[in-house]
A and B are shown apart, each in its own frame.
Chain A
Amino acid sequence: MTSHFTSDTNKQKQFPGARVTTDGRAVLSGVPLRLFAKLEKTFLNMALESGAEEHSYPSLIGNQVLRCAGYFKSFPDGATFVTAPGLSHDCSLSPAVCYHCYPNFAQNPLQKEVTWTCQGRCFRHEKGNYEGLARLWEFTMREIVFCGPEDWVRQQREDWMKRVLRFCEESGFSAGLEESTDPFYGTVSRGQQLLQRLKKLKYELRLNLGDGTTTAATSFNLHETHFTGTFGITAASGQPLQTGCVAFGLERWVLAALEQWDETRIHRFLSQTN
């Protein structure tokens, strides 16, 4: 058994109840699993309190959706393809939960702004570059996805940044917000990163892991008209729409709690009522 679940000892400490394979799969039990469940419930409640509508999606996603989203162009080696005997269409394991939402938004012209929340397993193939709970092939993401006029979407992101920072302060997470960019690939990757930073399209909440290292546990993203354009998302009013999302990497939050908190603080957090 242990040969299948060898902990990655290179960069990450080991915690009882959190085993990670060298190819980036996590097995949680005990305190890490309770932290995972509590954090997930906390973020779901935050989403519901903000007025988000809850949706559930499968891990599988059609490649035509990812193609339409531009995923293969931006991250050509990141996808985990799925095959099965007799499969007539191509599928992947979803690299982010929000990709499921955009084709749904496009089904009918939107009558008003929408905020959806969904949680699911996500898969990003990192060619062996895994780092314990901080970088997994398969991980869990809770997302809040917005679609509406530009100013409204920007305001949602602002509100979420404040909301999550307040949560960190109240629960005792040492964290900081930073402007960031995605790790694009291809000939215009530098251009994409420059534009992302120039227009402040991406912020990350980085949680401290001790000895000067941090992990990006939540990202706050504006997509401008990228998804509304490519998926044909429209408003009944004819008003131009944009999208944005907030994405929580749950295993990274668990890791930060294990790194930052002592037993007393963990117990206090776990015993709080949601």
Chain B
Amino acid sequence: MNATSEKALLDFINQELLTNKEERVDAFTPLFQEGWIDSLKILQLIAFLEVQRGTDIPDREVVMDRFQNVHSICEHFLQPKTEQTV
């Protein structure tokens, strides 16, 4: 797990998406069951992830086991690519 990516994503969600200062999530807060993310915020979140990783995220990859919380999002979408060995 890349701790820098996780922190960057947490900062983005807590500072940009959750405008109410009393609302804060941590790496394991369920983002969708608890209603933190609405239909506008999910678009902003995906746009942020696409910029961070440099590639688009197809709709079919937006599934709950990958978007459960900040930790799982980083694991699936912001994991540094390992070099392929031959």
List chain A positions with a Cβ less than 8 A from chain B.
Answer: 188, 190-195, 197-200, 224-225
C-alpha spacing A191/B41, complex, angstroms: 8
Q: Is the CB of B63 within 8 A of A198?
A: yes
**6 other contacts beyond A190-B43, A224-B35, with CB at 8 A cut-off?**
A188-B43, A191-B39, A191-B43, A194-B39, A197-B59, A197-B62
Q: Which of A191, A200, A224, A225 lies in contact with B42, CB distance below 8 A? A: A191
Q: Does B67 contact A (CB under 8 A)?
A: yes
Bound-complex Cα distance A184 to B16 (A): 25
Report chain A residues within 8 Å CB of B43. Answer: 188, 190-191, 194
Question: Which residues of A have CB within 8 Å of B12?
Answer: none
- Are A188's CB and B39's CB within 8 A? yes
**A188:B63 contact, CB within 8 angstroms:** no
Query: For the complex, what is the distance from the CA of A225 to the CA of B33, rounded to whole Å?
Result: 12
Question: Is B50 interfacial (CB 8 A cutoff)?
Answer: no
Q: Contact: B32 with A199, CB < 8 Å?
A: yes
Chain B residues near A191 (CB-CB < 8 A)? 38-43
Q: What residues of B have a CB within 8 angstroms of the CB of A224 in the complex?
A: 35
Within 33-84 of B, Cβ neighbours of A (below 8 Å) are at 35, 37-43, 46, 59, 62-64, 67
Residues of B6-47 at the interface with A, using a CB-CB cut-off of 8 Å, are: 32, 35, 37-43, 46
Contact A194 B59 (CB under 8 A): yes
| In the complex, chain A residues whose CB is within 8 Å of the CB of B41 | 191
- Contact residues on B (Cβ < 8 Å of other chain), bracket: 10 to 19
Task: Identify the B interface with A (CB < 8 A).
Answer: 32, 35, 37-43, 46, 59, 62-64, 67
Output the residue of A190, A195, A197, A224 with the most chain B CB within 10 A: A195
- Closest residue on chain A to residue B62 by CB atoms: A194
Residues of A with C-beta under 8 A to B40: 188, 191
CB distance from B59 to the nearest CB of A (A): 6
Q: How far is the CB of A48 from chain B (nearest CB, A)?
A: 33
Contact residues in B for A194 (Cβ distance below 8 Å): 39, 42-43, 46, 59, 62
Name the residue among B39, B42, B59 with the largest chain A CB count within 10 angstroms.
B39
Closest-by-CB residue of A relative to B43 is: A191
4 tightest Cβ-Cβ pairs between the two chains A and B: A191-B39, A192-B39, A191-B43, A188-B39
Give CA–CA (A195, B40) in the complex, Å: 10
B32 touches A195 (CB 8 A): yes
- With a cutoff of 8 Å between Cβ atoms, the chain B residues found around residue A200 in the complex are 64
Chain A residues with CB below 8 A from B42, complex form: 191, 194-195, 198
Q: Tell me the bound Cα distance from A188 to B38 in angstroms.
A: 10
Measured between alpha carbons, how far is A194 from B37 in the docked complex, in Å? 11
User: Measured between alpha carbons, how far is A194 from B49 in the docked complex, in Å?
Assistant: 15
Nearest CB of chain A from residue B16's CB, rounded to whole Å: 15
**Distance between Cα atoms of A198 and B32 in the complex (Å):** 9
Nearest-CB distance from A221 to chain B (Å)?
16
Judge whether A198 and B64 touch: CB under 8 Å.
Answer: yes
**Within 8 Å CB of A190, what residues of B?**
43, 59
Q: How far is the CA of A224 from the CA of B35 in the complex (A)?
A: 10
Interchain nearest-CB distance for A75 vs B (Å): 15
* Residues of the A chain whose Cβ atoms lie less than 8 Å from the Cβ of B62: 194, 197-198
